[in-house]
Structure 1
Amino acid sequence: MRAADCMTLSGEESVTQSQTIVIKVIKTDECNVHANQLTATWTQPTGETYVTQVEDDNKGNYFVRGKFTSPGVCKLDVSADGEPIKQSPMIIKIEKEGLVNTIQVHVDRNLSHVVKHGGFLLVSVFINEILVYKQSGKYIGTVILPQGVVVDRMYKMKNGSLAFSDTYTCIKVCDMNGQVIKSIGQGLLIDPSGIHVHKTSNIVYVGDRYRGCVLIFDIGSGEFKGSIGSQCNRGQMSGVIDVTITNKGHILILEYENSRLQLFDNKGKFMKVLVGAGDENGKVRYPGGVVVDEDDNIIISSRHKLQLFSSDGNYIKRIDKPEDGIKRPYGLSIISYHPRSVAVVNNGDKTIKIFNY
């Protein structure tokens, strides 16, 4: 068997500008080709070409990396002993960063949150209804919950159910027919807002704006597991608006009134303030939401902008431009990793705005 016949390329079909492309070189079990027998050539969107290294992770896996700043189409050719391997050349689209779509929400209400569920976007608007849109912006329908429910922040669970904060009462879990499956935290939560469910432990973290802390529950049994912050006495924290978990299992707590993002370890021990208050780039003022992407980058919506930070809180860039009209943004969600895309509710013009970043 020829060396080229026992190898194939696999990887993403699109990325954003400056996002690292990682293409795997997959070998069959009987393949004895070494990395130094492979040649990899990138053709950039500008048409320029350059030869790059095929990397070996010392576990028998080979891969090729690339990063391009110009939008367009790039091409990767990989050959073994001078012959192209399967799926070579591979074509990858480099998508432009910035605002890519604006969805006009069809109800005249303040918007709370947006999450991706399958191929759809779910939008909460502080009533007992969840609006459903295609990512193209087409309105699909409405999930109607029981009267008296007020949907604030949402979290899509692995089983397809939706956990959400029911303003001034508790956390609820519902299906996509609007049937409430369970309620958690009655009598303990006063003004629940941001919500995050740990992917493996089924522990749910809930920010309480009034109490100024994060309460922790077992989402299966409903058992109260403890709190993070000021022991729920409005001391250390104020206006906890959102909470999320990093890929390392650390806890990020966003405060509206104190305008800051704090980092805690997985036991709830304070580590440091990652992002502080201010109007300049790299600071936040009256933030509305926080998310973490697959690279552990942090995105925060605040008053008039969206900002990208590294996992240690260092400012990377502003995602939106002033002309994009971000004003009073609130909840936001990662909707794609290839390309990197984030959706945010924008109360200034009652829209959902989608950005590549």
Structure 2
Amino acid sequence: MKNKIKLLIVISITTIGNEVAADELVKSFTQTRITKFIPSLSIVELMNHEGVGKLITSVAHKVKTEDENISVTKGHSFSVKVSSLAESADVDKLTATLKNPLGEKSVTEVVHRKEVYTITGRCNLEGEWHMDITDGNMLHVIGSPVSVKVEPLGLVHTIYNISKYKKHRKLAKVSDVVGLLDTDGCMLVSSYSKDLIKFDQSGNFVSKIQIPQNVKVNCMHQIGNGHMVYSDGFNKCVIMCDNQHHEIRTFGKGVLQYPDGITVNQKTSILYVADREYPCVFKFNIDDGSLLGKIGSEGSEAGQMKGPTDVAVTKEGHLIVADRDNSRIQMFDDNDKLVKILVGSGEEDGQVFVPTGITIDMDGNVIVSSNYKLQLFDQNGKFIKRIDNIDDGLNIPCGIAVISERPRKVAVANHGADNVKIFNY
């Protein structure tokens, strides 16, 4: 019969009549330390040392719960965060290795700031990857290995038959999509109707929402606390509603003619509205509905507009305008002054022709839908790539929204074909 060796670790704690404090200290120690037994593997070690091995104890580290199992897009940089469960002077000692489905390793970078480690990596092969994270004593951190699912780039889902979920204006085609990243991760689709249709990120139907008032919802924008603003083609205004979609306030009644794309600068409480019938962007106070002014004038010179269709605000507070009839994207500062023509006119990749939708992603990049294509630019207007392929079936793509951070997904209201396209990018 084989001999069994039992290893007993005793932690001695001196207290003054306080067994509870001792229990808590033991619990704290075991929760914030990782101990590994390394057995002696040779007769020489057994002869020269007492015992059968040695113990290594390290400060415990833990992968953030939301980072233990992640999905990313092929070739896209991503990060995993690891926190220290106890104070330690031994920093910058974590090591991470990415392994692809073939067992090949990729380079990662580990940065330490204030007891939080950020590990960045990139996967250039689709499939299931794993990230092994160890400390200076080669002990795995809690939550390691991290499971990394790498998804393909390009078109992943198409949502057909939008009209079958509607009761109001069933023949009206899709106009916009908005991502619900701060709530349930789903998206809402509008189509010049009082019916809003909710789908998940895989394009599966979730529910139908019917606006209580008589409206034709064109474009939408989430403003937090479950509140939303949308442009209403029936009443020719913009409406703010609560999380039950009841009207709170209206903007621009008697002023707007064809309210289209809308956005809100949360820092300045300004609502921006692009109106196709006017060569300008209207500004309203989001808190009381008052008109604050206009940006732009009619014409084709820099800073002028013709039929603007959509707007977006950058992290710096700059306003991005899809100047549709001039076939360009313009940028204005927070004083309404032209900064630059961000993207010029043309039908080649890196240019836009009749742009209709625009949004800003988490990296500050600009995504533009125009003339049967979807393109990604950086914050300075430098062309990064075309997101769709020529045979993906984009037909008058309109409203667009980023619906997932990891993996990066963008949804497009494909107006001409009356469907919604979802792309990894």
Task: Provide the TM-score with structure 1 as the length reference.
Answer: 0.92
Which residues in structure 2 correspond to 1:164-179 (within 5 Å)?
164-167=230-233, 169-179=236-246
Find 2:146's aligned residue among 90, 107, 115. Answer: 90
Q: How far did 1:164 drift?
A: 0.6
Residues 243-266 of structure 1 show CA distances to partners (whole Å, capped at 9, x for unaligned) of 001122211011111111001112
Question: After the TM superposition, which of the residue ranges 268-277 and 102-111 deviates more from structure 2?
Answer: 102-111
**Structure 1 counterpart of 2:174, one-letter code:** L
**Structure 2 counterpart of 1:109, one-letter code:** A
Cα distance change of structure 1 residues 275 and 264 upon mapping to structure 2, 3 Å threshold: same
Q: Which has the larger radius of gyration?
A: 2
User: Is the aligned partner of 1:152 residue 2:218?
Assistant: yes
User: SS at the partner of 1:324?
Assistant: coil
Cα distance change of structure 1 residues 119 and 55 upon mapping to structure 2, 3 Å threshold: closer
Distance 1:86 1:4 in 2: 12
Cα distance change of structure 1 residues 53 and 287 upon mapping to structure 2, 3 Å threshold: closer
**Residue 222 of structure 1 corresponds to which residue in structure 2?**
289
Residues 193-240 of structure 1 show CA distances to partners (whole Å, capped at 9, x for unaligned) of 11001234432111122221111111111122222212xx56721111
Distance 2:194 2:82 in 1: 49
Question: After the TM superposition, which of the residue ranges 314-323 and 218-227 deviates more from structure 2?
Answer: 218-227
User: Is the aligned partner of 1:290 residue 2:358?
Assistant: yes
Distance 1:314 1:145 in 2: 43
- Contact 1:5–1:86 (CA<8 Å) still a contact in 2? no
User: Is the aligned partner of 1:133 residue 2:169?
Assistant: no
Distance 2:131 2:401 in 1: 31
Q: 1 or 2, which has the higher strand percentage?
A: 1
Distance 2:96 2:85 in 1: 19
Aligned residues with identical type, % of pairs: 37
Residues 322-346 of structure 1 show CA distances to partners (whole Å, capped at 9, x for unaligned) of 2210111111111001010000011
**Residue 134 of structure 2 corresponds to which residue in structure 1?**
79
- Contact 1:108–1:350 (CA<8 Å) still a contact in 2? no
User: SS at the partner of 1:84?
Assistant: coil
Question: After the TM superposition, which of the residue ranges 115-124 and 339-348 deviates more from structure 2?
Answer: 115-124
User: SS at the partner of 2:417?
Assistant: coil
User: SS at the partner of 1:225?
Assistant: strand
- Contact 1:276–1:283 (CA<8 Å) still a contact in 2? yes
Distance 2:330 2:209 in 1: 35
Distance 1:256 1:53 in 2: 42
**Structure 2 counterpart of 1:158, one-letter code:** G
Find 2:249's aligned residue among 182, 188, 193. Answer: 182
List gaps (5 residues or longer) in structure 2: 1-32, 35-56, 164-169
Q: How far did 1:21 drift?
A: 1.5
Which residues in structure 2 correspond to 1:5-154 (within 5 Å)?
5-10=59-64, 11=67, 13-35=70-92, 37-50=93-106, 52-57=108-113, 59-80=114-135, 81-104=137-160, 105-106=162-163, 107-117=170-180, 118-135=184-201, 136-138=203-205, 140-147=207-214, 149-154=215-220
List gaps (5 residues or longer) in structure 1: none
Task: Provide the TM-score with structure 2 as the length reference.
Answer: 0.78
- Contact 1:111–1:123 (CA<8 Å) still a contact in 2? yes
Which residues in structure 2 correspond to 1:139-288 (within 5 Å)?
140-147=207-214, 149-167=215-233, 169-230=236-297, 236-288=304-356
> Considering only aligned residues, what root-mean-square deviation do their CA atoms show, in Å?
2.0
- Contact 2:367–2:377 (CA<8 Å) still a contact in 1? yes
The count of residues paired between Structure 1 and Structure 2 equals 352
Q: 1 or 2, which has the higher helix percentage?
A: 2
**Structure 2 counterpart of 1:188, one-letter code:** V
Distance 2:306 2:149 in 1: 44
Distance 1:312 1:341 in 2: 22
Cα distance change of structure 1 residues 46 and 229 upon mapping to structure 2, 3 Å threshold: farther
Residues 299-334 of structure 1 show CA distances to partners (whole Å, capped at 9, x for unaligned) of 111121111111111111111112210111111111
Distance 1:288 1:102 in 2: 20
Cα distance change of structure 1 residues 53 and 291 upon mapping to structure 2, 3 Å threshold: closer
Distance 1:76 1:199 in 2: 38
User: SS at the partner of 2:416?
Assistant: coil
Cα distance change of structure 1 residues 50 and 157 upon mapping to structure 2, 3 Å threshold: closer
**Structure 2 counterpart of 1:251, one-letter code:** L
Q: Larger relative contact order (C-alpha < 8 A, sep ≥ 6)? A: 1
Cα distance change of structure 1 residues 285 and 144 upon mapping to structure 2, 3 Å threshold: same
**Residue 424 of structure 2 corresponds to which residue in structure 1?**
356
Distance 1:49 1:62 in 2: 20
